[in-house]
Amino acid sequence: MRSFPFFGAVVIVAATAWSAVMPTRAEDPLRIPVLVPITGFLSLEGTSQKNGAELALVGSKVAFSVEDTATSPEIAINAFERAADAGGVVAVVAPMLGTQMLALVPLADEFELPLVTVSGTAKITDLGSPNVFRFFPGDVVVKEAQARYAVEELGAKRPAIVYQTTAYGQSGRAELQDNLLALDAPPVFEEGLDVSVKDLLPVLTKVRDSGADALLLHLHSGPTALAVRQAKALGLDMPIIAGSAMHQPETAALLAPAELGGVCAETGSSPVSETSEEVRTFVDAYRRAFDREPDAFALGQYDGTKMVLAAIAAGARTPADVRTYLQTARHDGLAMTYMSDGTGNMAHSAVIICYDGEDRVPDIVKRYGNLTGVL
């Protein structure tokens, strides 16, 4: 039995080697891996992103596979390298989580693969990479819309900001600060919250005591719903203008219609609120395919993926072809018209939605088009 230890060693090494020699999926000429966070704290938004990409890709001649990136950069890189190893990749649907994108951008540059994402983190398009294409209005756009609506439409002079201490939250908070200062309405209160915080009454009480006249939220889905509910319970007598998480049907579903009354939010789009025939068709198809309501992330990723398919339809066969198309073309999507600003920001419009307290479908009350002046 002296050979047993060596047998054990061989088993371990063989198991490791198995991943290399096991058959890969049949290769198509062109492939678009979908790398999205479908587990972890961003699973709700990540699933929307996945669904949007899937809906665009199903029925096309482009092969695709979905890889979960969870919430760590390490897993996102693993997924990227695994997907890139398959060959035939012309573009990658990249995760919306900012820290994962920051890790993937250098890799995308090395592989020369375009990343198509709906990540809102401002920094990803500040890195000077030619491979980042963001199909969701960045914080520069949506936070301007949120600040302007609060100040110009609701007359806020002393707003309070409550944000998440994640990359998403800190990025949005910085843009909100800048915009409010530019609008001569500096925030009188700011506080960051960890995603694990389950009771927002203390911070809402501090908001009330600060003398603020409007509450600007920049939180993830669950905390947004919690903040709205507890603000209503506290009797917080000021308008609430939330971040894009509030527009998600899943967020609204966490609240009673009465609790939603008067609450507004910024977002890139609100598919369930739109009345155009094209968007209604998208919404119906989405519901049939996934048995849930679409949100702006789904629609943004749908539009972005469709633009890649448009590039392929226009003759793109390599990542470089797709990148060139994304850098130069103008694409009329369902949510808005997309065009690169030279740094990969493709979306330049935002909307403000408000709930009327009767149901969970918000109304689009204000559209901010072409805020960057690119179009």
Partner 1 sequence: MIRAVRSSSFAIPAAVVAVLAVYALGFASSYDQRLLTLAGVYLILVLGYQFIFGHAGALSLAQGSFFGVGAYTTGILATAWNPGFVVTFPLSILCASLIAGLVAIPVLRLQTHYFALATLALSQLLLLVAVNWEGLTGGANGLAGVPPIEVLGWTASRGLPLLAVVWAIAGTAMLVARWQMGPDRTASFTVAREAPIAAPAFGMDTQMMRFRAFLLSAAFGGAAGALFVHTNRVVSPETLGFGVMVTCLTMTVVGGRYTVLGALIGALLLTHLPEWLRDLDRYYLVALGVLLLVMVVFAPNGLAAFVSRSPSRTAPNSLATAHPADLVRGDVRLVATALSKTYGGIRALDGVSLDLQPGEIVGIIGPNGAGKTTLANVLTGTARAESGTVLVAGIDVTKRNPHEIARLGIARTFQTPQLPSGLSVEDIVETARRHAAVPQPPETNALLSFCGLASIVPIAADTLPHGTRRMVEICRAVAARPGILILDEPAAGLTPKEQLDLGTLCRSLATAGMGILLIDHNIDFLRPITDRLVCMDAGRIVADGPPGETLEDPRVREAYFGLDIQ
Q: Residue 270 CB, nearest distance to partner 1 (Å)?
A: 26
Residue 110's SS3 state is: helix
Q: Given the complex with partner 1, which of 167 and 263 has the nearer CB atom?
A: 167
Distances, alpha carbon 88 to alpha carbons 110, 317, 325, 336, in Å: 16, 9, 18, 30
The answer to whether residue 84 forms part of the interface with partner 1 (CB under 8 A) is yes
- Count of chain residues binding partner 1 (CB under 8 A): 52
Q: Which of residues 188-217 bind partner 1 (CB under 8 A)?
A: 192, 194
Among 166, 267, 273, 345, binds partner 1 (CB under 8 A): 166
Q: Given the complex with partner 1, which of 6 and 288 has the nearer CB atom?
A: 6
Q: Given the complex with partner 1, which of 121 and 269 has the nearer CB atom?
A: 121
Among 99, 125, 248, 305, binds partner 1 (CB under 8 A): 99
d(CA 270, CA 347): 14
d(CA 339, CA 335): 13
Which of 225, 169, 209, 228 lies closest to 193, judged by CA? 169
Q: Given the complex with partner 1, which of 54 and 259 has the nearer CB atom?
A: 54
Burial class (CB in 10 A: 0-12, 13-18, 19+), 191: middle
Among 45, 54, 67, 213, binds partner 1 (CB under 8 A): 67
d(CA 260, CA 246): 10
CB 372 within 8 A of CB 257: no
The answer to whether residue 102 forms part of the interface with partner 1 (CB under 8 A) is yes
Residue 67's SS3 state is: strand
Distances, alpha carbon 219 to alpha carbons 59, 96, 223, in Å: 36, 15, 6
Q: Which range binds partner 1 by CB under 8 A, 14-22, 150-158, 222-230, 234-242? A: 14-22
In the chain, the amino acid numbered 2 is R
The answer to whether residue 81 forms part of the interface with partner 1 (CB under 8 A) is yes
Residue 42 host element (H or E) = none
Q: Given the complex with partner 1, which of 82 and 158 has the nearer CB atom?
A: 82
| Per-residue contact string for residues 15-34; x = within reach of partner 1 by CB under 8 A | xxxxxxx-------------
Give per-residue burial for 74-108: e unless 16+ CB within 10 Å, then b.
ebbbebbeebbebeebbbbbbbbbbbbbbbbbebb
The answer to whether residue 10 forms part of the interface with partner 1 (CB under 8 A) is yes
Which of 82, 101, 86, 71 lies closest to 28, judged by CA? 86
The answer to whether residue 74 forms part of the interface with partner 1 (CB under 8 A) is yes
The answer to whether residue 12 forms part of the interface with partner 1 (CB under 8 A) is yes
d(CA 283, CA 292): 9
CB 305 within 8 A of CB 283: no
Q: Which of residues 111-140 bind partner 1 (CB under 8 A)?
A: 121, 123, 127
Among 110, 332, 358, 359, binds partner 1 (CB under 8 A): 110
d(CA 250, CA 219): 14
The answer to whether residue 79 forms part of the interface with partner 1 (CB under 8 A) is yes
Q: Given the complex with partner 1, which of 79 and 185 has the nearer CB atom?
A: 79
Q: Which range binds partner 1 by CB under 8 A, 168-176, 183-191, 299-307, 324-332? A: 168-176
Among 49, 51, 131, 170, binds partner 1 (CB under 8 A): 170
Angle between helices 167-182 and 98-111 (to 10 degrees): 100
Q: Given the complex with partner 1, which of 121 and 270 has the nearer CB atom?
A: 121
The answer to whether residue 13 forms part of the interface with partner 1 (CB under 8 A) is yes
Distance of CA 72 to the CA centre of its chain: 16
Q: Which of residues 218-237 bind partner 1 (CB under 8 A)?
A: none
The answer to whether residue 73 forms part of the interface with partner 1 (CB under 8 A) is yes
In the complex, the residues that contact partner 1 under the rule CB under 8 A are 4-6, 8-10, 12-13, 15-21, 38-39, 66-68, 71-75, 77-79, 81-82, 84-85, 98-99, 102-103, 105-107, 110, 121, 123, 127, 165-171, 192, 194
